[in-house]
Amino acid sequence: MKKAPSLSPTTGRLMLLCCAMLWGGSYPTAKVAMGVITPQWLMGIRLIGASAVMLILFHKRILSALNRSIIIPGIAVGLTYWGTMFSQMSGLRLIEPGRSAFLTATYCVIVPFTSWLIIRQRPTSRNLVAAVLCLSGVGLVSMGSGAGLGGLSISLGDLLTLLCGLVFSFNLVLLGKWSRTIDPVALTFSQFVIAGILFLIGGSVFEPAPNASWLAPNVLICLTYLVLGATMLAQIMQNIGLKVTPPSQASIIMCLETVFSMLFSVLFYGERVDASSAAGFVLIFLAIIVSQIRLSGRLLALLGRPRD
């Protein structure tokens, strides 16, 4: 029996790049969809739809892992993911897609500090540098959001999106902690199901009922993209790509999600970016890169510092 050919590192990097593009495209797509569908209904449909596809593709792995040991972790990651997406979608209704992507991406900088709080893993010096860069970038972005004290004005949409980044950092740390002992596919499935059910309940109680306008072709195209592309396909390509791509390269490639989101939003949604916001986005992206990379052993030796 012939051994299946292994995936090349180049193919893995291309898959991660496609993953970043799909995620980047989800911001303007969700913004368009929310012109018709309310946020909680949108996320409920998106997550339950993705859960159904996952169950079809990975039913053996998922069903075998659904036992008592997954109950508490599943609820915890489901609740934090619900909080993440609820605050992000609420913020996205008020700000532009590209802006939302960059402010959401602050989670990359926050995660080391959340890890310190939850699993007692201390941040490194580069994490502190990244935090300063990120805060500076957020300050410049807020200056571009409108007039205020000294030009500083953080909108409600900005605050909700920054809250999304904070809650998402807890979600990722919990996922990383429990994925060591629980099948990550089953844990992701539990996360999607629990968050999806909460969104459907919230939509049923607090938002208008679905109507015929949701079946418009452009809305259905947006839903299909969000369920199959930005959620299901992106997750599969990420899982495969990460197997053959060094973590330092993978993290930088996936950071391009923010760049693709801004590009698609400017090209297809008509988002406009002023000079202050552009400078802030550059600083936030630089902070993400700094938080994700490690200095080489040779460079650290030249600097006379131990490896982080």
More confident residue, 7 or 227: 227
More confident residue, 227 or 235: 227
- Kindly tell me if the per-residue pLDDT of 275 is higher than 70: yes
pLDDT in the model for residue 302: 38
- Kindly tell me if the per-residue pLDDT of 82 is higher than 90: yes
The model carries a pTM of 0.85
Q: What secondary structure does DSSP assign to the chain, as a single string?
A: -PPPPPPPHHHHHHHHHHHHHHHHHHHHHHHHHTTTS-HHHHHHHHHHHHHHHHHHHHHHHHHHH-SGGGHHHHHHHHHHHHHHHHHHHHHHTTS-HHHHHHHHTTHHHHHHHHHHHHH-----HHHHHHHHHHHHHHHHHHHTT---BTTB---HHHHHHHHHHHHHHHHHHHHHHHTTTS-HHHHHHHHHHHHHHHHHHHHHHHSPPP-GGGGSHHHHHHHHIIIIIIIIIHHHHHHHHHHHS-HHHHHHHHHTHHHHHHHHIIIII-----HHHHHHHHHHHHHHHHHH----HHHHHHHT----
Quick: pLDDT tens for 59-68. Answer: 999 999 999 9
Quick: pLDDT tens for 204-228. Answer: 999 999 999 999 999 999 999 999 9
